[in-house]
Structure 1
Amino acid sequence: MCISVAFVDDHPILLEGLVSLYSGKSDLEIVAKGENAVDALRIVEEHSPHVLVLDLSMPGDAVAAIELIAQKYQDTRVIVFTANSSIETAIQILNYGVSGYVLKGSSAGDLHQAIRTVYDGETFISAGFATKVIMAMKTAEMRRRKQAQQRLSLREEQIVRHLMRGSTNREIASCLDISEKTVKHYMTVLMQKLDARNRLEVVLAAQRLEVLPDGLAERNATGRIN
């Protein structure tokens, strides 16, 4: 069975070159071509190709088109064929559900392999670049896990907010109806959880976790936090 493929790129010579090159492959059938994001959506709706190969830098909102196709037309696998070697962009696009990310400059054989790979239900990323993307994704996941571990409990948030007002341990204990010893315990926990050395660093670290409004710590840094 031939794999039906469509190409979308706003560079006419490149587009014609792709169509001409891959029309000669016995396992591929070129069913359509286009030049912009609107064409990409129209092609998927009208032809339902097994694989859609498209550029990021073309007229229209290519990213929005990719996201819509990945969500609504799941029988079509999307390969982004681009000169954009930004790791952040690649991760964003892959998270939208595309099956392949191939850098322009790759060989004709690489793109052919990418088409076959995504048709088989797997993900393809250009060699070399794939390692960087995977490492970046692992680092981001580790960061998310660490932030989840650092998430504050309701009581801890209350104590941090009292710290922002310059409250002493005794005042915090009175307001929250707990013992001063319990407040000291929470302070120890907060400093360990947020890797902070003192009360001010607790507040600044909590602000980075979006527990506190931006700028609040700086405005009160001269208060009774220390």
Structure 2
Amino acid sequence: MTIRVMVADDQELVRSGFAMILDAQPDIEVVAEAADGAEAVEAVREHAPDVALLDIRMPRMDGIEACRAIAAHGGCRTVMLTTFDADEYVFEALHAGASGFLLKDVRRDDLVHAVRVVAAGDSLLAPSVARRLVERYTAGGPARTDPRLDALTGRERETLLLLARGLSNAEIAAELVVSEHTVKTHVGNVLAKLGLRDRIQAVICAYETGLVTPGTPPAGGGAGTAVSPA
């Protein structure tokens, strides 16, 4: 199955470079390019790509607003690309609906890997972004446990904790000594009860609510921290 991709960046050379790298892959086709966020949203509506690569800083409409519009439209997952890794961009992008966040100095192979990971329904964060999540929500020590967690059963809390550590469904199943099907059920219940969109939001929630402490950082390495689909 071919992964359809749209690339948006206001710098033509950067945009063309990413498009060339991706289009050279046998399982990826770049179906559109855009020079700003407004063009990106229109391109997604017209070409229905599976994945949109969005630069954060673009004229007319920035990547975060474009991401929010694309997420509302549905059917296309987004990966944010930027030279900046300041906290406000990371968190705004994730809350806008991004499924991945990479810096522009990402290696060629890691860029391709990120597109495949996100197209498969997973989520991915650059290692530096994952570290920032840990630092932001563990600064000053463990937080008081949030009452939102009261909605979860004990097993669902365990599942959320293991999600925040970066474990896959198979690894969670082994840890809890249950089937992967049961894990998927627990993950779905966690997302539904906490009103979360995906597993990246679940990881953020685990830190926000104080469930995760500095002793349990998410796993990382390679292109980034991949978070498997529910």
- Do they superpose with TM above 0.5? yes
Secondary structure of the residue aligned to 2:127 is coil
Instruction: Give 1:37 shift.
Output: 0.9
- The 5 A counterparts of 1:1-226 are 1-62=1-62, 63-73=64-74, 75-137=75-137
Structure 1, unaligned runs of 5 or more: 149-226
Cα deviation 1:117-140 (Å, max 9, x = unaligned): 111111111123322224424669
Bigger radius of gyration, 1 or 2? 1
C-alpha contact 1:7 1:34 (8 A) present in aligned 2: yes
C-alpha contact 1:101 1:126 (8 A) present in aligned 2: yes
Partner Cα distance (2:144, 2:78) in 1: 27
Alignment root-mean-square deviation, CA: 2.4
Partner Cα distance (2:82, 2:19) in 1: 16
C-alpha contact 2:80 2:98 (8 A) present in aligned 1: yes
Partner Cα distance (2:90, 2:102) in 1: 10
Partner Cα distance (1:144, 1:6) in 2: 42
Q: Which one-letter code corresponds to 2:8 in the other structure?
A: V
Give 1:190's aligned residue: none
Partner Cα distance (1:113, 1:2) in 2: 14
Structure 2, unaligned runs of 5 or more: 149-230
Instruction: Give 1:143 shift.
Output: 5.2
Go from structure 1 to structure 2 and tell me whether the alpha carbon gap of 1:43 and 1:104 turns closer, same or farther (over 3 Å shift): same
Secondary structure of the residue aligned to 1:44 is helix
TM-score (normalizing by structure 2): 0.58
Go from structure 1 to structure 2 and tell me whether the alpha carbon gap of 1:9 and 1:145 turns closer, same or farther (over 3 Å shift): same
C-alpha contact 2:7 2:15 (8 A) present in aligned 1: yes
Instruction: Give 1:50 shift.
Output: 0.2
Instruction: Give 1:109 shift.
Output: 1.2
Partner Cα distance (1:135, 1:26) in 2: 39
Secondary structure of the residue aligned to 2:43 is helix
TM-score (normalizing by structure 1): 0.59
Instruction: Give 1:85 shift.
Output: 0.7
Q: Which one-letter code corresponds to 1:83 in the other structure?
A: T
Q: Which one-letter code corresponds to 2:54 in the other structure?
A: L
**Percent identical:** 27
Instruction: Give 1:61 shift.
Output: 2.2
Secondary structure of the residue aligned to 1:21 is helix
Go from structure 1 to structure 2 and tell me whether the alpha carbon gap of 1:120 and 1:14 turns closer, same or farther (over 3 Å shift): same
